[in-house]
A and B are shown apart, each in its own frame.
Chain A
Amino acid sequence: MSNSRILDDTPALSIQDLRKRFGKTNALDGVVFKLHQGERLGLLGPNGAGKTTLVRCIARRIRADQGDIVLLGEPMAPTGTSPSLGIVPQELAIYEDLSAYQNLYFFGRFHGLRGRELKHRIHWALEWTGLKDRSSQLVRHFSGGMKRRINLACGVMHSPRVLLLDEPTVGVDPQSRERIYVMIDSLSEEGCSILLTTHHMEEAEWQCDRLVIMDRGRVVADGTIDELIDQSVGPSRSVRLRIDGHSLRHHPREFGFLRKWEPEIVFRSDEEQVVELRMNDVAQYLPAILEQLSAQSVIVRDIEVQPPSLHDVFLALTGKHLRDV
């Protein structure tokens, strides 16, 4: 972005009781949340949760049955688009038979840019994506990561104040992913508000200021990662014990002193078993557990203590069963 924006308290995007039915399916069932200005909000949910429908509603590609979408304080019209909104779809929505420069040029024109302004934005986008040296090369010859970057650049040519990013790093290597997040960081620094949908829990946890988790067309959790942890799994830690397989003669549940921690074997072989326990106060309970295991000749090879993650929160809120839609 060329200029940092002055931010105020008006939400960049406000979703108010949004409802959409497809036949008998409630794709959106009263969705409510806000994206604040300059914020990076992660939108998570299992397949069929309604994320795509929601994004398409915001992009005015689907007409909601009920509810409002307010963009920068202005209710969006049921049809038509806003120049303040940028969209980067999950698919590579670019022309592979055009060069990087030509893609940027035409998408810039479609967003109303002309003349010097257009030229300036193309140069900015080429610098931003690190593709200045490849600007004249056809996109079809680009790697997956380069295509992703151009895909992203085409969505922000018109300097939108609110950006919808749908899975921006799907199918790219770690280096490209890192680069894409550097690019997104620079947008955030310029004051662009970003709604990011992703299935990468780690990315969402690291890259987003706040998270909204959807399931079955509804928002089931909304807050920062700490707030979500408190709302769902609480402060409990996951403790993983790597145990010598030959020394463990019974299922961990058969040890009475372990039952309290709901032991679960997450890995098992003749050589080794990994037992997971969940507890709130590790410092208090872990030494006693180890002592009792030792007394029963169970050899513990390694201990791993993990704080609750978004992954735990997500599974706690949406369950572990498959969502084949």
Chain B
Amino acid sequence: MVWSIFAMSMRQWLNRPWEVVLALFLPIVFFSIFATIFGRGLQSDRKKKISISVIDEVSDHQSIKLIEVLKKQGELQFVDLTESVTPHQQAKDLIQRGEIKACLVIKIATTSESTDASTQAIPWAIDILSDQSDQLAAAYVESALQRHMMQLAWWGGDQSNTKSPTWTNAGQSAKMTGSGRVMNNRMTTAQGVHLAAENEVLLAPAINAGTATYSIDDGVQVQTNQADQGSAIRKQQKMANRLNDDGTGAPNDMEMVPVKIVNLLGDGKANPVISMYAAGIAVMFLLFNATTVGGILIEERSNQTLDRLLSSNLTMDQLLLGKWFYMTFLGVLQITVMFVWASLVFKVDLAGHFDGFMMMTIATSLAASGFGLFMATLCKSRTQLTGVSTMLVLSMSAMGGSMIPRYLMSESLQKIGLLTFNAWAIDGYDKVFWREMPVGSLAPQLAVLALSSVLFLCIARLLAIRWEVK
């Protein structure tokens, strides 16, 4: 009997091909998506995509040299600021629009910024103006900055120097050759975020990591301890001085430059991740809801209600439009409830951004409703609809940023993500709630969502012809 039940269940399962596909194929699809995002995405393309600008208020030979070195390394993409009169404002605008991830401001340090005036040879401070909605970018820029400043400190940026110091610690592994060109950086997201939050002083990651070992090929080795930051800094300086004394000619006055990450867009706001996830989750559930409601159309067809409706004065156009508006209304309601909750519990400023929110919500709901109708008219049965839509919606949500922020993905994956309207919707909500851009700036997102909506609706209408008259 047990075997009979097993055999019968297996037979039933095999007779439902969509369930077989869902059970076997969907995990592979998802594994591939996430493996692509976290495997190749973070390692290969990440360096290429972080675009920054530089404002050099100091403009001495050291700062110019630092900028040159940073540009030569090719890890960061530099965007020139054209408006020389108000470069800070321009940089802020670019960051706000998401066109650059950060801006380095090299400036004369104030007394409060200088950690140890007596030992600081260069009176600089560096601010990294950034957008914390991409929590990795600022940390990455800071990390790159640290490495190159160390390099300058040790070799003066002289790439012909063949000394090969190796810097390792528990949380971070970086290998620098004498040419300074090869850098293998392995840093997890969490570590990057940790660094962004914690680092206040250049070279601090070594200290934050607890114990760091600096081993130089001439045998000099310095151990640092987290509990003794000042001591660590002094030891680093000692190490640099020693290098200098060894006749390398490296300037040792750069390692104490204070670096501060300035969050341009985050003042007084809830965590950007909250509004981003509210949008991401809302869009994903909007799609699920739309396909579920679309399934009613398939039920109406199978129980002949559709025949009855179409033999009344109702036309297919009216039927689809009616359902489209209903699904849109439901979607708007669903997202609104979600954001009201987010505003009440997580302090997302809904009231202050209501116009942009409503525009994005209506456009997103229209698009999701169109998608739901498209799926309903495409599929022959409710089971097929469930299978196909689950696979599509989850894939779109993964690629479009509903599950993982798109800034964590490689450039190519981010571009592929733009084929989903999840990405456009989330970008739109990001503009509204995080970047606080005017509603006019939503035009690309609104246009794409509206076009998707019309496109899906038109395809659904064409597919529904087969239900009208055979």
Contacts and interface: CB of A to CB of B under 8 A. Distances in A.
A162 to B, nearest CB: 12
A87 B305 CA distance: 11
B160 interface: no
Contact of B470 (A61, A94, A155): A61
Contacts of A154: 308
Contact of A59 (B305, B311, B313, B314): B311
Nearest to B306: A93
B311 A61 contact: yes
Q: What class of interface size applies to chain B in its complex with A?
A: 10 to 19
B167 to A, nearest CB: 67
B304 interface: yes
Interface string A98-115: 000000000100111000
Contacts of B469: 60-63, 78-79
Nearest to A158: B312
A274 B21 CA distance: 56
A112 B314 CA distance: 9
B468 interface: yes
A93 B304 contact: yes
Contacts, number: 55
A93 B307 CA distance: 9
B305 A85 contact: no
Contacts of B305: 91, 93-95
A158 B304 CA distance: 19
Nearest to B314: A110
B307 A107 contact: no
A97 to B, nearest CB: 9
A67 to B, nearest CB: 15
Given A87-B311, A154-B308, A93 B303 contact: yes
B220 interface: no
A167 B309 CA distance: 19
B310 interface: yes
- Among A60, A83, A93, the one with the most B-chain Cβ atoms within 10 Å of its Cβ is A93
Contacts of B303: 91-93
A110 B313 CA distance: 6
Given A63-B470, A92-B303, A107 B310 contact: no
Contacts of B307: 56, 59, 61, 87, 89, 93
Contacts of A56: 307, 470
Q: Which of A61, A90, A155 has the most CB of B within 10 A?
A: A61
Contacts of A110: 309, 312-314
Contacts of B304: 89-91, 93
Interface residues of A, number: 26
A81 interface: yes
Interface string B427-470: 00000000000000000000000000000000000000000111
Contact of B313 (A79, A95, A111): A111
Nearest to A79: B469
B95 to A, nearest CB: 50
Contacts of A92: 303
Nearest to B469: A63
Interface string A225-251: 000000000000000000000000000
Contacts of A85: 311
Interface string A141-168: 0000000000000110010000000000
10 contacts: A61-B310, A61-B470, A63-B469, A83-B313, A87-B311, A91-B305, A107-B308, A110-B312, A154-B308, A158-B312
Instruction: Enumerate the 7 nearest inter-chain pairs by beta-carbon distance, A residue then B residue, closest first.
Output: A89-B304, A110-B312, A93-B305, A91-B304, A93-B308, A91-B303, A93-B304
Given A91-B303, A93-B307, A110-B309, 15 more contacts: A56-B307, A59-B307, A62-B469, A62-B470, A63-B469, A63-B470, A78-B469, A79-B468, A81-B310, A81-B312, A89-B304, A89-B307, A91-B304, A93-B304, A107-B312
